[in-house]
Structure 1
Amino acid sequence: MPSDPYERIVVDGKVLDALTLGAIKRAEAILGRKIPIVQGSYNAGGVAASAGTHDFGGVFDTIAGGHDDAVKALRAVGFAAWYRPTLPGVWSAHCHAVLIGHGRLAPAAARQVQAYLARRDGLVSNAIDSDPGWTNTARYTVQAFHADVERGKLDAREAKKLGKVKTLWKQIKAIRKRRKFLAKR
């Protein structure tokens, strides 16, 4: 995982940035399963129905299966997230998520964050938010991202197997120990 939180990364063919991916990884840990990306960020003009929310960073859509649990997990780590039921001719059922506090949100996405904080659905109708798990305190910040990078929790290649993560962490500790030793010389 890059150390720049706004570095763009391609995941499952969709563009995100490292900060958004870090928050998704935390939500996956809560949920206990992978959260597949069906539309990423930095997708200006890609889907008209998205009304510009995906034009910059911090926004993604995922499939709707198990949507109540997914929305709760995403909200728990700092996303303004909603289940979007199928609107025939407009979109299929999905969950839409905007990372609260992301430094590169599109204006339309920033308005959705304000709607979420006001317990609204983030759509033009401005209906009351009926999804579970609302919170106004959860945030996945740049500082949290850097802490995750430092701890090695976001290396996607290593996270596939817990044993590899433990080995990587031991290697990092050994390198730090060696650096301290060399610094004393």
Structure 2
Amino acid sequence: MGSEHGRRSSPHRSDTKLRVNGKPHTLSVDHRRVLLDVLREDLDLTGAKKGCDHGQCGACTVLVDGRRVNSCLLLAVALDGSDVTTVEGLSGDGGDPHPLQRAFLERDAFQCGYCTPGQICSAVGALAEAESGHPSHVTDPAAPSGRPVALDRDEIRERLSGNLCRCGAYPRIVDAVTDVTGAAGT
């Protein structure tokens, strides 16, 4: 059995269906390959970066079924049937930049830019988590459960703490997310 990318199935490969940035893909994937490598090497989506390759820096953050994940840790075959969104897919099919992408540009929320795609995908996921009522470590325990979490700068910093910026652009990253959310505080 061949796949869209011309590789043959073997005992160490499986045909894996992924919907990436709204487009369906069927790939014959080696069981040992992680999502990050499939995105970068097979689909030429190079926004997500390989930073630490251990799930500690967040440079590889993408969204899987709407939730942020470290793509360097997830075996691609385990995601069969999943919907994957990379930084390239946030703006839709040739559409305007996502509000967070615009805010990062307007706030100059990057220096070298290596971590920026992961920072933006993480922020998109973090905002969805807060909107769904998922608390963070700094969420007020008295806040009503299941309701959207009010975002202030401390809440934003905590929710993005899994994404490292070696250049130290954190204040501008928080400013960019604050611009999109209208968050207040110090």
Per the normalisation by structure 1, the TM-score is 0.26
Q: TM-score, normalised by structure 2?
A: 0.26
